[in-house]
């Protein structure tokens, strides 16, 4: 039964990690290098993440600077950013690319907060699905005689406790991201 509990907790933790990664890519009006994480650039025929071919830094609150180690790929990085769904036009001088993030409007902030809430709700559904799977496995173990009825109820309670803890964690992460989006 310990493996069932461990597997359920691992799945729930992975769900939360995935949610945090998704939140880090959300543009909240500030320059955030994480918006480039999913972008790749063609570097000598190989799709390579931008952060592996250039130094990415935040120079000001709303400015992201990308300094390629090889100046010849500056144009390719610029093109990758333009074709992405980031929605920011990069400015290049041939050596350095700057991305200036415009301040978000109030309506756009509210839309982002709705999206953040929706993502949190999807994560909660995934956590509850992991709970259901774990409880089904525990019931199957009881049915096959591997565990007693007392162990079954203890196991179900432990699964529910883990689920409640993970749901609270998702709520606090969501709340923090919503506050970040609504600032400034």
User: Domain limits of the chain?
Assistant: 2-24+105-182, 33-100
CB 95 within 8 A of CB 102: no
pLDDT recorded at residue 174? 94
Name the pairing type of β-strands 63-68 and 91-92. unpaired
The reply to whether 33-100 shares the fold of 2-24+105-182 is: no
Outline where DSSP puts E strands in 44-108: 46-49, 54-60, 63-68, 91-92, 97-100
First to last CA, the chain: 49
Buried b (16+ CB within 10 A) or exposed e, 145-178: eebeeeebeebbebbeebbeebbebbeebbeebb
pLDDT recorded at residue 82? 87
pLDDT recorded at residue 184? 57
| pTM, to two decimals | 0.72
CATH 3.30.1360.40 for domain 33-100: yes
| pLDDT digit string (tens) for the chain, length 184 residues | 889 899 999 999 999 999 998 887 776 667 778 888 888 898 888 888 988 899 998 888 788 899 999 888 898 898 888 888 777 888 988 889 998 888 878 888 888 899 999 999 999 999 999 999 999 999 999 899 899 999 999 999 999 999 999 999 999 999 998 888 887 5
Name the pairing type of β-strands 63-68 and 97-100. antiparallel
CB 60 within 8 A of CB 70: no
What are the residues whose beta carbons fall under 8 Å from the beta carbon of 73, sequence distance 6 or more? 41, 43, 53, 54
Give me the phi and psi of 94, to 5 degrees please.
Answer: 95, -20
What's the CATH code, domain 2-24+105-182? 1.10.132.20
């Amino acid at each position: 039964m310990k493996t069932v509990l461990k597997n359920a907790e691992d799945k729930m933790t992975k769900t939360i990690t995935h949610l945090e990664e998704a939140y880090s890519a959300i543009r909240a009006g500030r320059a955030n290098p994480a918006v480039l994480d999913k972008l790749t650039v063609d570097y000598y025929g190989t799709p390579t993440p931008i952060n592996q071919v250039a130094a990415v830094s935040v120079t000001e609150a709303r400015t992201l600077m990308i300094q390629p180690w090889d100046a010849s790929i500056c144009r390719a990085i610029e093109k990758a950013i333009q074709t992405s769904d980031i929605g920011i036009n990069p400015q290049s001088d041939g050596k350095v690319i700057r991305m200036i993030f415009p301040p978000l409007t109030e309506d756009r902030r509210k839309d982002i907060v709705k999206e953040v809430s929706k993502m949190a709700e999807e994560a909660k559904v995934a956590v509850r699905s992991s709970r259901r799977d774990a409880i089904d496995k525990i019931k199957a173990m009881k049915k096959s005689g591997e565990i007693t009825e007392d162990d079954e109820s203890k196991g179900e309670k432990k699964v529910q406790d883990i689920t409640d803890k993970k749901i609270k964690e998702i709520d606090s992460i969501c709340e923090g991201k919503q506050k970040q989006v609504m600032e400034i």
